[in-house]
Each structure stands twice: as C-alpha cells, then as structure tokens.
Amino acid sequence: MKDRREFLKEVTAGAVLMGSGGKLAVAAIRDANPQPAKSKIVIARDPELHGTGAKTSAQPDEQRVQALLDRAIAAYTGHAKPVAAWKSLVPMDKVIGLKVNGLGSKGIATHPALIMAVAERLQQAGVKPGNIIVFDQNVHFLQACGMTVNNDPSKMRAYSSDVAGWDDEESAWGVAKIRLTKILSRDCDMVINMPILKDHEGAGVTFAMKNMYGVVDKPFTLHGNHCNPAVADLNCIPVIRDKVRFTIGDAMSSVYDGGPGFHPERLWYPNTLLIGEDRVALDTIAWEMIERKRAEAGLPTLEAAGRPPHYIAAAADPSRSLGTNDPKRIHRVEI
Amino acid sequence: MFSMKSSKPAMAALTVAIIFAGAGCKKAIVDPFPASGAIAGWQKTGDTRVFAAKDLWQYIDGDADQYIRAGVVTTSTSDYNYQNHLEAVVDVYTMGDSAGAQKILAGDESKTGKSISLGDEGVAFEQSVTFRKGVSLVRIVAYSSTPDAPQALLALAHGVEAKL
C-alpha cells in the first residue's frame, strides 16, 4: 500500500499498475487524448430479478444477480468465461476497493447480492480475499449494504471512512476542496464504483459520479447550485479520476422521486445493471432512466422540478473531459 | 434508551433538552421510541442515534438540506423489527417550530397517501407512515412490503405518537 503522494508520483511516471496486465490498469495512465471515440456502456436487464407478480421480493434473487453480472461483464469484455473476463479488467495483484452506497438505508442501498457476486468473481480471477475492500462513508451505510465490518486481511475486508480516517492534506479541483478517505488514497490501488440509481433532491440524479461524495470528509459542502459543478470537479481530482476506473452500477431497484432517501412509495425495479468506464456516459443513461420513469408516473421532468443534473454536462465539458454525454458517442450494448 | 455514538450527538441532545426546557416545553427530554414489546409484535433492534442539524448529513446527506431549510433542530432514529419478518426504521425530526414539521409534511407525499388521524396530521402508504405532532415530524418506513405491514406500521406510529 502507498500513500497519496507516492501514488501521484507513480501516475506521473506512468508506472502505475503497469505490471499487472489489467485493461483498466493500463488505461489508468493518462495520455493526451484519454477519451475513446465512443464509450461502451452495457445495459443488462433481467425482468425477473425480483420475481414476478405476487411473488415480487424486495431483494433480488442471488443466482440471477450473479448470472446477470456475468452476462454484463462478458458483453463488456468479449470474454464469455467470467474468470477470463475479470482478468482482462482488473489487476489481480493489487488492492481493489468496492465503493458501495448505503446512504438510503437498507431499503435502497447497493444490493448485497451484487457486492458478493463481484467479490466472488474477483477472487476466482485471482485477487486475494484480503485485497478486496468494500467501503462507504460510515459503518451504518456499510451495514445497509449487508456488510459486516471486518479488517482481517485473510478475508474480504469491509470498513468505513469514518474509521479509516481522512487525508491530512486537502485535495482540490475547481470548487471541490475536500479531504479524501484514506481507503481511496492509501489503501486501494483501484476502485470499482458500485452506486445505486436514485433521484436526488439536490443533484437531480445520483449514480456514478455523485457516488464519489461518499469518499470525502464533508460532502455537504458540495451541494450548492444543485451540486453543479461540484460533482464534476470532485471527479476531476486526480486520485478519484485515476483510481476509480470502472463502474458496476446497480439499477436493480431505484427511487424515482424523493431521493436520495428511501421512499417505498416511489420505489421501482428497473432490474438493470449499467457497467462501463465512462462515468459521464453512465450518468447520462441513468438520467434518461429516471426521466422515463418520472414521466410514466406523471411527475414533472427534473428540469421542471428545478433540479436538472447539469453537472453531467459540466463533466463532459472540454475543461474537464471526464467522458461524454453525447448520445452519438455512447455505444450502448443492451442485453 | 438513548445511546450516543459520540460525544457530539450527546451534546446535541443535551442542547436540545436545554432549549426545550428554556422554551417552557412540558417535557424537557422526550424519548419517543417505544421499548421492545411495548407495541405488540414490535422489537426495538438498535440503539437510538441522534444527529444535530449540522451533523444530519452523516445520516442522510442530500436529504438533509430540506430538513435544515425547514428548521430541524435534531433527528433521532432507531431500527425496529415486527415479528421477525418486517424490518422498519423510525425517524423523529424535532423542528424549531410546528410550522417546520408542517412544511415537510406538506410536500408531495401528503398528496398521494391516505390521510390518517394521528397527531396533528398524518399520511400512510403501504410501507410507510408519516405524521406530525407539535414540533415533531415522524417518519416510519418498512424495508419490504408484507400484507400485515400497513396495520403494523400504524400500531407502531400510534406508540410513538403517545410518547411525544
């Protein structure tokens, strides 16, 4: 493990994660043109994840979640076998963080079945159990995701930022001036972002980029102007930009209004996983999903509700170049 | 029983108690959470956590702003379980005045739910009950939908209301 200063030095030297062979490890080195011509996003659905009719369950079926994840990763990587697919994505000899989201309580948190499915495939692909760290802002959020706090290096670990602590130094980019969790800056070499799709009272939509509010010490300082451009600026902070390279987005259940808290009367089951590297493209699709559902429910658009997620466009702006929100540049693979 | 997770929330609760006492409230300290077994079938499964307004983001960042705008002073929360098959959470928001509680309840929740006679005003859905009484706004939410959830939640809500 290394501290943030060492990590940044490695990024500058172009040496980060090079020896590990994972596709995303190599991609972590910034070049002059970091964006591909099109960003591939896999939209994987299983309408029966939560059962059907009167047998609908609040928690998705674990085996179906595993199968859906496997199909999604296969479609993304082109490798039919899960182990080969994961080996192509992730450096096996590094510490991999899974940034989950339990802020909305266990009613609307990253599903335990998905977290365990990802952790299982990582281990089968060769990542040591102790090199997998599930984390979120505090222990209650972790518990909402079904995790028990554990820092035994012989097992998959799960602990929270309020326990691990925050960087002594402030990180800053644009309006974002925060201290990062040491789990991100010190403990992990790469992070898989595992947000859950929700409407958001301030930001409009919370998904891939907004989930990074859970890695900073004072997220409430980033709420002004509907979190714009704070969400985009936060994701430009080098440690976040470089380490958080891949998203396995949980849209198996969602709240389409009243978020980010749990409102069961606004809960719906999109039964979907969204995966990809381009966090802006992922959020663009997430926004579309929320808008479609709101329209179906007879609710106003987020723009009309006074909280459009303009931070998505800000993130795509050339000054930040975090990804694309241009539908023509998003290669959607729906399975 | 109230269990503070750190000295900050404890200080916040104490501050609230002092504020209430100074304002001439009838009750200096209110513990609105029914004990295990006090309401048939319901068990209190966790300690009560208390958040001052400035710390509310630690509980529900993003949602906190609307409560702060409405003048929340402190928020208390505790988990419950009904007959080992229904998990729920009880949130009690203590506002600066009753208008604050009214403001939150007047949100769109009240437009689509079933109006119920509880406290000053209440609304119920299949998986949640929200009501206000004086400066308190109470929200009880179940994490799953079961046939007995509406009736069980309502019973728990009456138990909370009686303690306010």
* Res A30 pLDDT > 60: no
Which range (A19-23, A112-116, A253-257, B75-79) has the least confidence?
A19-23
Pick from B105, B37, B33: nearest CA to B67: B105
- pLDDT in the model for residue A58: 81
Could you tell me the residue range of the domain that residue B100 belongs to? 7-163
**Residue A34 covered by a domain:** no
Residue range A169-185: average pLDDT?
97
Whether residue B1 is contained in a domain is answered as: no
**C-alpha separations of B56 from A134, A149, B8, B69, B98 in Å:** 24, 23, 12, 12, 19
Q: Is residue B20 part of a domain?
A: yes
**pTM beyond 0.90, yes or no:** no
Residue B113 domain-assigned? Answer: yes
Domain count, chain B: 1
If pLDDT is split at 50, 70 and 90, which confidence band does A294 have?
very high
- Report the domain count for chain A: 1
Nearest-Cα distance to chain B for A322, in Å, is: 23
* β strands within chain A, DSSP E: 39-45, 96-99, 132-136, 157-160, 171-173, 176-178, 190-193, 196-200, 204-206, 244-255, 267-268, 272-276, 330-334
In a domain, B2, yes or no: no
Exposure letters A254-271 (e unless 16+ CB within 10 A, then b): bbbbbbbbbbbbbbbbbb
Q: Is A35 a domain residue?
A: no
Please indicate, yes or no, if residue A166 is contained in any of the structural domains.
yes
Please report the pLDDT score of residue A56 as a whole number: 77
Domain with A242, as residue range(s), is 4-28+40-334
Chain A residues touching residue B126 (CB < 8 angstroms)? 264-265
pLDDT in the model for residue A183: 97
Residue in B with minimal Cα distance to A305:
B108
- B63–A201 C-beta distance less than 8 A: yes
Question: For a pLDDT cut of 90, what percent of chain A falls above it?
Answer: 84
Cβ-defined contact of A265 to B127 (cutoff 8 Å)? yes
Q: Cβ(A249)–Cβ(A283) under 8 Å?
A: no
Query: A199 in a domain, yes or no?
Result: yes
Of residues B57, B60, B141, nearest to A264 (C-beta): B141
B71/B68 Cα distance (integer angstroms): 5
Q: Output the domain CATH number for residue A132.
A: 3.40.50.11440
Nearest by CB: A219 against B61, B128, B144: B61
Taking CB atoms and an 8 Å cutoff, what residues of chain A touch B145?
Answer: 58, 264
d(CA A230, CA A167): 19
Name the residue in chain B with its Cα closest to that of A299: B108
Q: Answer whether residue B141 shows pLDDT above 80.
A: yes
Beta carbons of B66 and A201 less than 8 Å apart: yes
B9 CB contacts (<8 Å, ≥6 apart)? Answer: B49, B50, B51, B52, B55
Within a domain: A33: no
CATH number at B68 reads: 3.30.200.100
